[in-house]
A and B are shown apart, each in its own frame.
Chain A
Amino acid sequence: MGLRPIADTSIFDLRASRRGFRLNRMCGSLCSPANREAFKQDEEGYLSRFGLTEAEKELIRKRDFAGMIHAGTNIYFMLKVGSVTGNSLYKMGAQMRGESYEQFLSSRNFKDAV
């Protein structure tokens, strides 16, 4: 029944979801404009509300998107922390691919469709 690993791919299953529960809860909270503002005003203070481990906070401080995914953040939840920190999906994607943003864009069929 279980899924087999796929190269260079993270599969968000219940084990990942358990692992990432605190991170995803923090990300989910960013659906409120007031919370986004609070994050921007005082990121450390905001992160301290969610029972995150020091390692989890460090992933966010470093904007380490591959690390966040590895720690169980769901991609759609990570988009919210990306948005509040000025990192678009494509910027996060370039980082996860180990490329510059420009390198990533040059690999697309029509890079203006952003």
Chain B
Amino acid sequence: MPSRIVGGLGLSHVPSVGVAFDRGRMQTPAWKPLWDAYVPVRDWLARLKPDVAIVVYNDHGAEFMFDKYPTFAIGVAERYAIADEGFGTRSLPEIRGDAEFSIHLCESLIAQEFDLTVCQELGVEHGFLVPMNLCFDSAHGWPVAAVPLQVNVIQHPLPSGRRCYRLGQALRRAVESHPGNLKVVVMGTGGMSHQLQGKRFGYMNAAFDEMFLDRLESDPEALSELSHQELMEQAGAEAVELIMWHVMRGAMSPEARRVHRHYYAPMTTGMGLITFEDAFEKEQ
């Protein structure tokens, strides 16, 4: 049986969630609304039982420095270390990889003209770990293997939204040409509206974020045409991370069914959550 994508998630990777998680604060009034939104998502994932999560994320200066900066990079290792991004190393189990599956993805994606930087050693930090904390319980080790897929969303020029969407489409073909009968979820992380520098620090735009969630569901290909300029003007400079959600959406079928949706914007970042399942999954 070929491998297949059983679910897709778009979700924010705000670092303060990692801190709140590590300090046991997810049940406090400030964080409970976010945590509660993930309860049905974790149940859903427990039912889907994915073997592998492809996590589309960006590094924040823990692993990639500006001496050399890849536009797209992928991990091909059996394990990924928890990185110290300047605030200490979080006490989480090491991430389990699937090197054979990763190598297949590289072969397929590069044949499809997505020329990725291939990483045999890669530490992962909040961009990757916060979504994992929200979606999976790691108390007894992570229940899924993972493939880190890092996108340059911090040093312009960035890949276009359309390019990211097409990477997602290519990723789907790559997964479906893998003979290993794996169930795969794709997580597009980052965003939503936020700006972390300049006088406009703290800017958020809930109306934009809701529009983005609407159109990600109903009109994803056209949404991926939104330029970096428009994204940054309307949702803040750091909101451009949202292009990583296009990778996830491109990997789902256009008519995929939306399962969960949530939005919470307490401090400086619109924290969005949306999940999709391909229509055929329901009948199986």
Q: Which residues of A are at the interface with B, using a C-beta cutoff of 8 A? A: 1, 3-4, 6-14, 17, 21, 24-25, 27-28, 30-33, 36, 66, 69, 74-80, 83-84, 89-90, 93-94, 96-98, 104, 107-114
Cβ B198 vs Cβ A10 within 8 A: yes
Tell me if B189 counts as interface (CB < 8 A to partner A): no
Looking at B61, B62, B202, B266, which has the most chain A CB atoms within 10 Å of its CB?
B61
A-contact bits for B130-152, CB 8 A (1 contact / 0 none): 00000000000000000000000
Cβ A12 vs Cβ B154 within 8 A: yes
Tell me if B24 counts as interface (CB < 8 A to partner A): no
CB-CB under 8 A from B232, the residues of chain A are 3, 6, 9, 11
Residues B2-19 near A (CB distance < 8 A): 16
Cβ A21 vs Cβ B202 within 8 A: no
Q: Which residues of B are at the interface with A, using a C-beta cutoff of 8 A? A: 16, 20, 28-31, 60-62, 65-67, 83-88, 154-157, 195-202, 228-229, 232-233, 236-238, 265-268
How far is A24 from B30 in the complex, measured between Cα atoms in Å?
33
Cβ A96 vs Cβ B86 within 8 A: no
Cβ A74 vs Cβ B154 within 8 A: yes
Cβ A108 vs Cβ B202 within 8 A: yes
- Cβ-Cβ contact count across A and B, 8 Å cutoff: 131
CB-CB under 8 A from B154, the residues of chain A are 12, 74, 76
CB-CB under 8 A from B87, the residues of chain A are 80, 83
Cβ B197 vs Cβ A80 within 8 A: no
Given contacts A9-B237, A17-B155, contact A114 B267 (CB under 8 A): yes
Cβ B157 vs Cβ A13 within 8 A: yes
Least distance between B192 CB and chain A CB atoms (Å): 14
How far is A76 from B66 in the complex, measured between Cα atoms in Å?
12
Q: CB < 8 Å: which of B66, B83, B233, B265 contacts A74? A: B66
How far is A96 from B197 in the complex, measured between Cα atoms in Å?
7
Least distance between B204 CB and chain A CB atoms (Å): 8
Q: Which residue of chain A is the closest to B19 with respect to CB atoms?
A: A114
Cβ A108 vs Cβ B268 within 8 A: yes
Given contacts A11-B237, A114-B16, contact A109 B266 (CB under 8 A): yes
Least distance between B127 CB and chain A CB atoms (Å): 9
Least distance between B149 CB and chain A CB atoms (Å): 18
Cβ A9 vs Cβ B266 within 8 A: no
CB-CB under 8 A from B265, the residues of chain A are 109
Cβ B30 vs Cβ A9 within 8 A: no
CB-CB under 8 A from B66, the residues of chain A are 17, 21, 24-25, 28, 74
Looking at B31, B87, B156, B267, which has the most chain A CB atoms within 10 Å of its CB?
B267
Given contacts A93-B202, A113-B30, A114-B267, contact A10 B237 (CB under 8 A): yes
16 residue pairs bridging A and B, Cβ less than 8 Å apart = A3-B156, A6-B232, A6-B233, A9-B236, A12-B237, A24-B61, A31-B61, A31-B84, A33-B88, A79-B86, A83-B86, A90-B267, A108-B202, A110-B266, A112-B30, A113-B266
Given contacts A27-B61, A28-B65, A108-B266, contact A97 B86 (CB under 8 A): no
Cβ B61 vs Cβ A93 within 8 A: no
Q: CB < 8 Å: which of A79, A83, A96, A110 contacts B201? A: A96
